[in-house]
A = this chain, B = another copy of it.
Amino acid sequence: MFASMGYAVKFVSVTNGDAGHQTEGGGALAKRRMAEAKEAGKRFGVEYDVLDNHDGELTPTLEVRLQIIRKIREWNADVVIAPRPNDYHPDHRYTGVLVQDAAYMVAVPNVAPDTPPLKKNPVFLYFQDNFQRPNPFRPDVVIDITSVWDKKVYAMAAHQSQFFEWLPWIGGYAAQVPTTSVDRLAWLSKRLAEPITDEILKSLEKWYGKERAANVKYAEPFEICEYGARPGTDEIKRLFPMLGK
Q: Is the interface of A mostly helix, strand, loop or mixed?
A: loop
Q: How far is the CB of A24 from chain B (nearest CB, A)?
A: 6
Q: How far is the CB of A23 from chain B (nearest CB, A)?
A: 6
- The answer to whether the Cβ of A245 comes within 8 Å of any Cβ in the partner chain is no
- Report yes or no: A20 in contact with B133, Cβ–Cβ below 8 A: no
State in angstroms the CA–CA spacing of A114 and B15 once bound together: 11
Chain B residues lying within 8 Å of A23, measured Cβ to Cβ, are 28
Interface residue total, chain A, C-beta cutoff 8 A: 58
Copies assembled: 6
Interface string of A8-45 (1 = CB under 8 A from B): 00000000101111111111111100100000000000
Chain B residues lying within 8 Å of A132, measured Cβ to Cβ, are 226
Q: How far is the CB of A12 from chain B (nearest CB, A)?
A: 13
Q: How far is the CB of A58 from chain B (nearest CB, A)?
A: 9
- Report yes or no: A19 in contact with B26, Cβ–Cβ below 8 A: yes
Chain B residues lying within 8 Å of A61, measured Cβ to Cβ, are 59
Chain B residues lying within 8 Å of A56, measured Cβ to Cβ, are 105, 108, 110-111
Q: Which residue in chain B gives the minimum CB-CB distance to A26?
A: B25
CB contact list, A118-136 vs B, under 8 A: 120, 131-135
Chain B residues lying within 8 Å of A22, measured Cβ to Cβ, are 109
State in angstroms the CA–CA spacing of A62 and B61 once bound together: 12
Interface string of A48-83 (1 = CB under 8 A from B): 001010111101111101100000000000000000
Among the listed B20, B52, B100, which residue makes an inter-chain contact with A114, where contact means beta carbons less than 8 Å apart? B52
**Lowest 6 A-B CB distances belong to which pairs?**
A25-B26, A26-B26, A27-B110, A27-B113, A134-B134, A19-B110
